[in-house]
Amino acid sequence: MVRLVILGGPGAGKGTQCEQLRDRLGLVWISTGEILRQAIAAKDSDGDCQTELGRQAQSYVERGELVPDAIMIQFIQQRLSQPDVQQGWILDGYPRTAFQAEELDFLLEELQQQLDYAIFLAVPPAELKARSLARGRTDDTPEAIERRIELFEERTVPILEYYDLRKRLVRIDGAKPIEDVQDAIQTTVETLVE
């Protein structure tokens, strides 16, 4: 049973690493960014978002702003209560604020689950920017990338201390090649899957 949170700035490699972890360990990968992008992309015949989540999130995601905590917390509460995640999960892009981190702990207590590790992929800001620009997703405009990096520093970096104090934080050099980063994560996770 593995329960992981993957933290890192925009372009740190969270999705890249989670995809490999999912394929290798068969874990359920929950990417809040991907879920929001899919909800925004699903449009009805009038060109409006089909879901309430897509409607609520669209303007925030396009500008690189954070979707309000209340929306994200409610979404995660519902997602982690579903049957497919009872054998473990990887959260990619959540939590992103101190409030989300605290609420996640309350939720896990309620569900009688425990987080194993919060894995932080450390990558310098210039590299975050270069990778995001090269990828060229629709929300990868230079302005939105700058804003995501700024918000990462302001709102997400403080969570590192939160997990460090709880002896859950594992820092990994995310500037190394993709395979090296995956090996470092696997070494951390191996002890849990034995």
- Residues forming contacts to ligand AP5 in the complex (CB under 6 A) are 8, 10-16, 32-33, 36, 60-61, 64-67, 72, 93-94, 96, 100, 131-132, 135, 148, 174, 177-178, 181
Cβ-based nearer residue to ligand AP5, 180 or 190: 180
Exposure b/e, 65-80, CB count within 10 A at least 16 = b: ebbebebbbebbeebb
State the maximum Cα–Cα separation within the chain, in Å, rounded to a whole number: 51
Q: If you search the block for the tokens 């620009």, which residue do you land on?
A: 133
In the chain, the amino acid numbered 83 is P
Cβ-based nearer residue to ligand AP5, 139 or 194: 139
CB of 150 to ligand AP5, least distance (A): 11
CB of 67 to ligand AP5, least distance (A): 4
CB of 140 to ligand AP5, least distance (A): 7
Cβ-based nearer residue to ligand AP5, 178 or 193: 178
In the chain, the amino acid numbered 62 is E
**The two structure tokens encoding residue 68:** 């309000």
Cβ-based nearer residue to ligand AP5, 42 or 178: 178
> What letter does residue 49 receive in the DSSP assignment?
B
